[in-house]
Amino acid sequence: MRIGVLTTAALSDLDRAARLGLGSFEWMRFADSPAAPPNADWKPFADEVAAAAKARNLRLSAIGALYQNPLDPPQTERARVIFTRAIEVAAHLGVRTVAGFAGAVIETRLNTRGGNPVCTPLENYLPAVVAFWEPLARFAADHGVRLAFEHCPQGAWHLPVAGYNLLDRPAIWERFFDVMPCENVGLEWDPSHLICQFIDPVANLRKFGARVFHVHAKDAFIDRSLLATYGLCHPGVAEHRFPGLGQADWPQIVHTLLRVGYDSDLNIEGWHDPVYRDHGEDAATPLAGRKLEDTGLLLARRTLAALVPPEA
């Protein structure tokens, strides 16, 4: 298990990850890269990424194919070809996991009395979700690749309210896994999204650990004073942070990941942190000259490094 970062495959970003002492990365914004459709000759660029990562002692943990809504009809065909290509690239490079959002069917209809809008429950569309993903999952399985769905709600205040990601909470995960026949479909797990829903990440791992294929290392903090005053649906009540600056129990999270047999890395996602994010130079600390986000990454790496066993 290595500690890494979510980043693009640009050489400057890989240099940055290596400079910060990180050991792995998830290839984000894959859909905008030269390896993605409509570029037919993708192998040279994929090989360049692999060589650049190896030269910097970085392991490519996963390919973040697309974080949009594949079940939105205008996006569906594009999403299908992007995930297909990401699976091919992953297989070519020996990467086990391709990640993204499962998406959701968003439909609002009018009731027959009064003409008021009525939202159809998202879980009613589980068959449509399975119909889109099952062929891709079987294609991935044929290539030795797993699909991992991030469970970010994509709703306001980090909550599953008016979002566009069906797999935003454990009750839906259960129903989805019950009806999805493919075993190579699982989660890109992130404790911050659970904390923002008042779910214990450690207990969640104990239940769903076998389905965790990739981890976004991100923390969250619930401001109880704001919560008591304004309720959950208020800006600032649920706040995403770098690991170690929130309320996640990282020693128990890492311990539980190891116990359930997690076989990938901890890749830090920090650009949501309200302080240590990329919005200026951090001239007030001993790390003067580094961007604030770099400082956050170093703090997160220090938090996690004390918990991760050294590689054999």
Q: For residues 151 and 168, give the distance between their C-alpha atoms in angstroms, rounded to a whole number.
A: 5
- Non-local CB neighbours of 78 within 8 Å, separated by 6+ positions: 37
Q: For residues 250 and 202, give the distance between their C-alpha atoms in angstroms, rounded to a whole number.
A: 9
Q: For residues 201 and 189, give the distance between their C-alpha atoms in angstroms, rounded to a whole number.
A: 10
**pLDDT confidence of residue 33:** 97
**pLDDT confidence of residue 278:** 64
Q: For residues 46 and 48, give the distance between their C-alpha atoms in angstroms, rounded to a whole number.
A: 5
**pLDDT confidence of residue 80:** 98
Q: For residues 243 and 217, give the distance between their C-alpha atoms in angstroms, rounded to a whole number.
A: 6
- Grouping H, G, I as helix, E, B as strand and the rest as coil, residue 49 is helix
Sole residue written with tokens 């290539």: 143
Tens of pLDDT, residues 75-112: 999 999 999 999 999 999 999 999 999 998 876 555 55
The segments of the chain whose pLDDT lies below 50 read 281-289
Q: Which runs of E-coded beta strand occur in the chain? A: 3-7, 24-27, 59-66, 97-100, 108-110, 117-119, 146-150, 185-189, 212-217, 219-222, 238-241, 266-268
Which CATH number does 3-216 carry? 3.20.20.150
Tell me the domain boundaries of the chain.
3-216
- Grouping H, G, I as helix, E, B as strand and the rest as coil, residue 100 is strand
Instruction: Give the burial string for 184-213 (b: 16+ CB within 10 Å, else e).
Output: bbbbbbbbbbbbbbeeebbebbeebbebbb
Tens of pLDDT, residues 262-304: 999 999 998 889 998 865 544 444 444 357 889 999 999 999 9
**pLDDT confidence of residue 304:** 98
**pLDDT confidence of residue 289:** 38
Other C-beta atoms lying within 10 Å of the C-beta of residue 176: 20
Sole residue written with tokens 């290595």: 2
**pLDDT confidence of residue 157:** 83
**pLDDT confidence of residue 306:** 95
DSSP secondary structure letters along 239-254: EEE-TTSSS--HHHHH
**Beta-sheet pairing, 238-241 with 108-110:** unpaired
Instruction: Give the burial string for 71-84 (b: 16+ CB within 10 Å, else e).
Output: beeeeeebbbebbb
